[in-house]
Structures are given as structure tokens and as C-alpha cells.
Amino acid sequence: MDLVPALDEPLKKVLGPPTAKVMAEHLGLHTVGDLLHHYPRRYEERGQLTHLADLPMDEHVTVVAMVADARLHSFASAKAPRGKGQRLEVTITDGSGRLQLVFFGNGVHKPHKELLPGTRAMFAGKVSVFNRRLQLAHPAYELLRDDSEEAVESWAGALIPLYPATAKLESWKIGKAIQTVLPSAQEAVDPLPESLREGRGLVPLPEALLKIHRPHTKADIEDARARLKWDEAFVLQVALARRRHADAQLPAVARRPAPDGLLTAFDARLPFTLTEGQQQVSREIFADLATEHPMHRLLQGEVGSGKTMVALRAMLAVVDAGGQAAMLAPTEVLAQQHHRSIVEMMGELAEGGMLGGAEHATKVVLLTGSMGAAARRQALLDLVTGEAGIVIGTHALIEDKVQFHDLGLVVVDEQHRFGVEQRDALRGKGKQPPHLLVMTATPIPRTVAMTVFGDLETSVLDQLPAGRSPIASHVVPVADKPHFLARAWQRVREEVENGHQAYVVCPRIGDEEDDPKKGKAKSPEDEAEKRPPLAVLDVAEQLAKGPLQGLSVEVLHGRMHPDDKDAVMRRFAAGDTDVLVATTVIEVGVNVPNATAMVIMDADRFGVSQLHQLRGRVGRGSAPGLCLLVTEMPEASPARQRLGAVASTLDGFELSRIDLEQRREGDVLGQAQSGARTSLRMLAVIEDEEIIAQARQEAAALVERDPELIGLPGLRTALDALLDEEREQYLEKG
């Protein structure tokens, strides 16, 4: 029997089943190697105490501090009516601030004996607020006895590593488990080619693992971080470079538009000229379509920069060349909207095979899950015969029944909402791999594009078409200034009186029978701190009876029947409805130029990119847009800073940087969709732009020389670990 390599040894054999089970369930750590790559979040110095002044609410923290005083109180309660209830309050300090710890009931005896004034310890628990003061209730703690040999040894001298921890497993227990497996680090196989490692002056991997977990100096930490960041960036870029290399070997049909065909006829009927950016991006796309390898291009454009126009021209070019084009939209509302606007833009060119259709016309069909049987049969027939050159649809396009005559181009709208399997299934419907154009209105900073979409060529549309109006955005802080909300509704009325329309967006629908969070019991503090998010159905009713009485108010949300949704959108687009109260179903692609105002309720419950997307629904005509971000969050909170950032700039790229800095990256290989933990533990996509760019160059050169990585067994092992099956498929399918 082969010996299991030291780093592949299951944790349950080394640490025992109970600890291993908690590590697997709560931290996703299964092997010795996983645990060695669970890096400290930060380090505490013995001589310095942490900043109690900036503890985050509702988070699990580990602090190193000194006991200032401890008092035992008796009180009466339901369980101890005779005043026999006991509460121990301990105040700890670190020079920057003070923090209260509380212990109740039988849990007071041990801390009462041990936490004497002057004692230093590490404390771990969840930060909550009681009587407007921060506190940790029943924290776990570990005394730091500087005199005991064992403590000094186990906390590695001067620098104490603090690990990302959970309620079930404190930082110091993780630290002790790591001490147990640290000798195995010597057997870590180095993924970096030696020439690259030496050329860049990076320490070997076993040394980096030792230094990250048991640093003696700050320089040790820097050396280790520099090395581990390179590993992450390089292995990931090699994976992407191999994909690009493999894609370049695939065959595809070159699609060149006919000189006087459908595209020429379409351009001739456009009532405006394309922006410089649209023309440039179209040239890039047409050059790709003319090659015999599949195009893989990402088109990112600000909300309203005219991506749909660019995509439509690419689809027309493919139809001109005898192929078919499919556009995949994430929701039915959006698929219907795209279908309507494309048919409008094309006019008689979309009436192929019909009386009155133009000479070069083709058929544009819609295919969604909720269509009637007859319409669906006809659409499927048009696709298989080739009668329909363009099809727009939702996931329904991917079903086995759907067959194409000759699928040449797939356009995916709003990439981040599509699972990879779905894109893959659609690509599999071509006789040869079709060309692929992925569109997103979420601006992506360059480094993220290099990592997340590193296998796609990128085009950017950053000019807005002429005639678009600027959008003014303001934060409405209801808690500090309640009268601001009344003024917000007044502004909505003013817009309606001027002949315009408005959106009101809420985080929730309000018929929560199938709300998954409902069953969870909450503590009374949670209930007080966090009311449920505002709901569309409640807010619409309150507005119609109150501040917006007399206006026509309608609702739109994801659980409505598709026909009802479509009817509501048609009435709103036609101007029959003054105010549309909706969930984020309107976030993408909804285009009503007459809508000029948007009020986003509980705006702090949305992400930065989402707010930017939502805001892009107003100011789409010639009248200026107004977006009001309503929040109850206090002025100093991170949520308010986030909203302030959104209000202060319309530059999506700037906002996406802010968003990323606040959220961290999620798993760049798309595992964010399946809830797995991030593959980037050390690399920060925003800060480490330079490393990523250099790693990309090195990876491309390496794969060019040796696509199979024959000479680099260590790198192959690291790739296998990164691309465990799920990710391997993800990369295959991209």
C-alpha cells in the first residue's frame, strides 16, 4: 500500500475525529495541507494590545487584552427568583479602548477565579451591543502566562498569530492544531519553477509555511506573504493560460458579414451614429468572428452604454454569414424586453418570411419557459429549420429539445447570473463550438478581469450615448433626519406632476411563506438590532394610502406569474403607471426612458454594484435622473460609507474597486455560486495588481513552451488541487 503523502493525510487521523469534524464543517479544512494553508488573519504583538476601539459588530473576534476590573453581581430572575442569579462583569483594556465581558449563571465561577485585575489573556467571542456599549457575552479565553514555558513556546515568541475562527473553534485552538502538523510543511512540493522562484527572490514553500505560522520577526511575515501570494496568482494564471491555449486549438466556422446584407441594411436604418467606443468594440468583435477559432470575448460596459446595440450588430453579422445567433438572458422580464427592443430596432428586417418583411430580413424568436405550447412549438420549428436567425431566451434555450440549424454565436447577458453548466450546454448545441460574447454591466477592475475572466479577451465601452442625462444621487438618512423621507416622497410626486415616472425598490417581496430564514430562532438582541428588510407589498400599500395617494402605484416581483409581470412592465413602459414598487427584478436591462426618479428603501442591504445597476434604470432619456438611497444606518457605519461612495460617483469602475475592497474577492474561479470558500487566501485582487499581471505573463510564456507541464510535477499537483473536479469542469466550460 502506498504511503499517503504527509500533506494529504486526513485531519481526523492527526487531530482526532471531533476537532477534524468541526474543521471540515465550519472551515472547509480536510487534510494536513488544507490546514497549513489556513493562514493567520493578523498577528498580535505581546507588548502591544489590539485596538478594542475598532471592533466590528456581529463578528467573531479574538483580542489580546488585560483585565482592568471584575465585579460579581447578584440579581433576581425567573430562573433564580430569590436574587440568586449571578452575573460576572469583567472590563478589559488595551490602551485604545475598553470592552465589557459578561458571564452568567454557573459559567461565572471559573472566570471569577482566573480573570483577576492585571491578568493578560486572549478572548474570543461575538461582538454585540448592550446598553449602547460593545460587549462579548461568555467569551472563550486563554490566559497568557508569560512565565510558563509551554505558553511562550506555543505562541511562537513575540508574534501571536490570530486565525480566521468560528464560534466552535477559537483561534488559539486552531493555532495549537497547526503546531501539531507544522513539521509536515517540510514535505510541501514547490509548484513554482526554480528559475522563476530564484529570479524573483522568493523563499521556498516549506520555509514560507513555517514563517507564516511561526514568525519570529515582521520580516518573516513579509517573506512568507510575498511567496504565498505568488503561488496563488501563478497557479491560477497557469490554469487560465492552459484554457486559452486549449481554446485556441478548437475549430470554429469563420463568420464574415455579407457586403450588402442584413448588417448593412440595419446600419442604414439607424437614426443615430454609433459612438466611437461602439465602433471600436464592433471592429474587435468582427475581427474575432472572422477567425477559425471560437471567439471568447467579454464586453463590459457601463449601464446604458449601448452594449445591446453592439451585440445585435454581431448577431446580424453571423446571420449574414448563414449562421444563427442566440442571446441568453437571466430573467424572463429581461428576455421579453430584449426581444421587444431588438424587434423594434430592426423593424421590417425582423419580419423574415412574412408579408412586408424586407429583402434581407430574418425571423427573431423568443423562447421562455412560460410560453404557450403552440407558440413554443413554432419557435422550436423556426430554430431547427434555420428560418429564425436570432433567438432570445432564458434557460429554456438550453433544454434538450431545443435544436439549431447552425448555431454560430452565443451572447450571454449579465454573465454573473449564469451558471457555467448553462453556458456550456448552449455551446454544445453548435455543430462546431460557436463564438461566445459575454456581456456585463457590472464594471470589473482590470485585475479582476485578468483573474475571473482571464480566459476571455476584454472589450470595454465607457462612453455613454449622446442625449443621456446625468443622475443625481443622494443618501436619505432616516434615523438622523426623518423629515428627509417625507421630502423624498414629495420629490417623487413632483417628477410625476412633470409627466415622468418613478421606481421604488425594496429588498423583499413580503409574502414570505417560503422564506428560508424564517425558521431560525433569533436572540432578542438580534430582533431589536435588525428588523426585517422592507417589503414591496407592504411599502406599495403604505405609499398608495399615504404619501403617494392619488397616483397609480403597481408592484413587480419575481414570484408573479410571467404574464402578469409582462403586463405590469408594458403598462409602466406605456406610461399608464406612475410609480412601480419592485424588487431587484428591474436591476438589469429594464429600459423606460420616461422614468426619472428612483427611491431605494433599505439601500444599505444592497451591494455597491447592485445599487449602481439599479440607479442605471433612471436618466435613460433626456430628462435628468434622481436616485435617493434611503437608510437607517448611523453615520459612522461602513454601510453609510458605502452609500456615500455610490452617491459621490457615477463611475462604475471606481465603484467596483470600492465594492471589492469592502467585500474581498469571493472565489475567483466562480465557486462563489456554489458557496465554497475562496481559493484566494493571501492574494487581494485589488492590491496585488502587479503580482497578477507579472504572474499572467510568466504563466503564458510557460504554457507556450510546455502546455502539458511535463517538466513541472509540483505545478501539476498544485493545479490538480486548485482544479478539483468541480473547478476543473468550471474551467472546461467557461
Burial of 385-406, coded b for 16+ CB within 10 Å and e otherwise, reads ebbbbbbbbbbbbbeeebebbb
Q: How far apart are alpha carbons 659 and 613 in whole angstroms?
A: 13
Distance CA 353, CA 211 (A): 72
Looking at residue 469, the DSSP 8-state letter turns out to be: -
pLDDT reported for residue 496: 94
Written in H, E and C, the secondary structure of 99-168 is EEEEEEHHHHHHHHHHCCCCCEEEEEEEEEEECCEEEEECCEEEECCCCCHHHHHHCCCCEEEECCCECC
Question: What is the predicted pLDDT for the residue at 354?
Answer: 62
Half-sphere exposure in the Cβ direction for 708 (13 Å, CA): 2
Distance CA 128, CA 101 (A): 10
Consecutive H or E run containing 503? strand 501-505
Radius of gyration of the CA atoms of the chain, in A: 30
Greatest alpha-carbon span in the chain: 95
- Quote the pLDDT of residue 725: 43
pLDDT of res. 2: 39
Question: DSSP H helical segments within 250-290, as ranges?
Answer: 262-269, 276-289
What is the tally of helices (H) and strands (E) in the chain? 26, 21
What is the residue type of 102?
A: V
Low pLDDT (below 70) residues in the chain: 1-5, 45-51, 53-54, 58-59, 76-83, 146-158, 303-304, 353-358, 414-424, 426, 443, 452-453, 464-467, 511-530, 587-589, 660-680, 685-686, 724-734
Q: What's the pLDDT at 452?
A: 67
CA angle, corner 538, sides to 128 and 534, nearest 5? 25
For position 357, what pLDDT does the model report? 61
Tell me what pLDDT residue 652 has. 76
pLDDT tens string 328-370: 888 888 888 889 889 988 988 888 766 556 677 899 999 988 8
pLDDT computed for residue 12 by the predictor? 87
